[in-house]
Amino acid sequence: MHFTDRVVPEHKLCVACQRCVTYCPEHAITVTKNELAYKENANWSPELRKNILKQAETGGILLVGMGNPRDYPILWDHLLIDACQVTNPSIDPLREPMELRTFLGRKPDRLEFVERDDGEIDLATEIEPQVRLDVPVIFGAMSYGAVSLNVHRSLVMAAARSGTLMNTGEGGLHRELYPYAGNVIVQVASGRFGVHSEYLNTSAMVEIKIGQGAKPGIGGHLPGEKVDEDISKTRMIPVGSDAISPAPHHDIYSIEDLSQLIYAIKEATDYEKPVSVKISAVHNVAAIASGIVRAGADVVTIDGFRGGTGAAPMVIRDNVGIPIELALAAVDQRLRDEGIRNNASIICAGGIRSSGDMAKAIALGADAVVIGTAALVAMGCRICQKCYTGNCAWGIATQRPELVRRLDPQVGSARLSNLLTAWSLELKEILGSLGVNSIESLRGSRERLRGVGLDSQTLELLGVKPAGVGQ
């Protein structure tokens, strides 16, 4: 806008971030759909026409932010959860304890015990490192650089308060956040930004990022404009230079190479931390996940094609990958069939929007879920999808100081914790209605799901019966 004697909005510049609507003291502003649109055409949407015009002007790759917005089927919305009636009682979570604690990490094949001289029994099996989550929701990997330091502050404080983890993404961990090590997953990606032994050891878990749901198989570029003094220090690259993450890790060309990196990290952290490997959900995801587990990963994170991003080529985001629901079901089934499901935890990312989605993911086999976009929305994001411009009105996907200060980490972290508290309560209600008192009893229990409006092949892949079929 420009202020003369009256306010004149510049409709062309509006991205529908809703900031003005939210903060107008008189509630006098509304954002409506621009009626001055292109002539209607069911085949040539206005967006397609705008994109072609933009590419005809620039000759560049179309860049977008946030997750895939296209109208692909959302399978969560075609899955329904069971409940108890008459023949077995439901449980009231308000009065009875409900166990939501989850431990991430490799579980032993069997437990062995020894009897002490005094008759007490001791566990003889050596247990691999585990990370405890009080709530099975982890904040997704969003790098400092893509998001502001206030976002990282909010996430890490909320994770500490709610007993869960945040993920640094591939841009390193700011020194100020080192005291929160117990609530941090540190990521090692192809660019190796900010990766050193102290960083690896300042964590609850280390994650090797192979892929991201929004952009499977491609790398990332943090534009030089975003690399200011502080980011340069955290990533350990010069101010103003592009931070380029190559598409592959150049020391990983095979499962054997992946194993080599997993154990390099374990050596550098003295085998004290679980190592996760994050991949995008792609066609052959089940076989890849099996290889990852056999390579020695303690956790497999699968990111579906609806997962978010700070910046990705539109053509990749909108056309590559597979839905997380199918990927998760396929991976869980494959690991069970091979008898190695206990060797790694499965984390499900990319498209979790509510506690309902979370419960369904757990029933399909996830140990925990990841929220990225949902966490950003809790902090103010209105999904205007302009993250890649660096001009985020909510102080999230920006490094401009006057915008960054709009997000108060105290407020942001409190809102994130509220969200996790709310989802925990809702999850307990779901467990209660299912007649179980622990999340372990729901995990991988596909019998408690039914599909509605799904074809028989999809149902088979999900391992779920159609609604209307009893036991």
C-alpha 434 chain-centroid distance:
26
Q: 189 vs 344, which CB is nearer to another protein?
A: 189
Q: Which residues are within 8 A (CB) of 290 and not within 5 positions of it... i.e. 6 or more apart? A: 334, 335, 338, 340
Least gap, CB of 2 to another protein (angstroms): 22
Least gap, CB of 186 to another protein (angstroms): 12
d(CA 52, CA 67): 21
- The DSSP result for 15-31, as a single string, is ----HHHHH-TT-----
Least gap, CB of 268 to another protein (angstroms): 3
Q: Which residues are within 8 A (CB) of 447 and not within 5 positions of it... i.e. 6 or more apart? A: 82, 465, 471
- 15: exposed, middle or buried (Cβ count in 10 Å: 0-12, 13-18, 19+): middle
Least gap, CB of 271 to another protein (angstroms): 8
d(CA 296, CA 441): 27
Question: What residues are paired with 138 via a beta bridge?
Answer: 370
Q: 138 vs 237, which CB is nearer to another protein?
A: 237
Least gap, CB of 181 to another protein (angstroms): 16
For residue 22, give the amino acid letter: T
Least gap, CB of 318 to another protein (angstroms): 15
Q: 232 vs 342, which CB is nearer to another protein?
A: 232
For residue 74, give the amino acid letter: I
Least gap, CB of 238 to another protein (angstroms): 7
Q: 192 vs 382, which CB is nearer to another protein?
A: 192
- As given in the structure block, the two tokens for residue 456 are 């028989």
Residues 389-424, buried b or exposed e (16+ Cβ, 10 A)?
Answer: ebebbbbbbbbbeebbebbebeebbbbbbebbeebb
β-pairing verdict for 131-133 and 102-104: antiparallel
Helices marked H in 209-323: 229-235, 255-268, 285-294, 314-319
H/E run at residue 415 = helix 409-434
Q: 313 vs 365, which CB is nearer to another protein?
A: 313
Q: Are 333 and 367 in contact (CB under 8 A)?
A: no
- As given in the structure block, the two tokens for residue 327 are 């990927």
Q: 387 vs 462, which CB is nearer to another protein?
A: 387
DSSP at 175? G
Q: 151 vs 237, which CB is nearer to another protein?
A: 237
Least gap, CB of 212 to another protein (angstroms): 17
Q: Are 210 and 170 in contact (CB under 8 A)?
A: no
Dihedral class, residue 138 (left if φ above 0, else alpha if ψ from -120 to 50, else beta): beta
Q: 236 vs 422, which CB is nearer to another protein?
A: 236
Chain contacts with another protein (rule: CB under 8 A): 54-55, 57-63, 190-192, 195-198, 200, 221, 223-224, 232-233, 236-238, 240-242, 244, 246, 250-251, 260, 263-264, 267-270, 313, 388-389
Least gap, CB of 220 to another protein (angstroms): 11
Least gap, CB of 55 to another protein (angstroms): 6
Q: Are 343 and 107 in contact (CB under 8 A)?
A: yes
Neighbours of 218 (CB within 10 A): 19
Q: 59 vs 89, which CB is nearer to another protein?
A: 59
Q: 225 vs 460, which CB is nearer to another protein?
A: 225
Q: 81 vs 181, which CB is nearer to another protein?
A: 181
Least gap, CB of 397 to another protein (angstroms): 14
Could you give the 3-state DSSP secondary structure of residue 348? strand
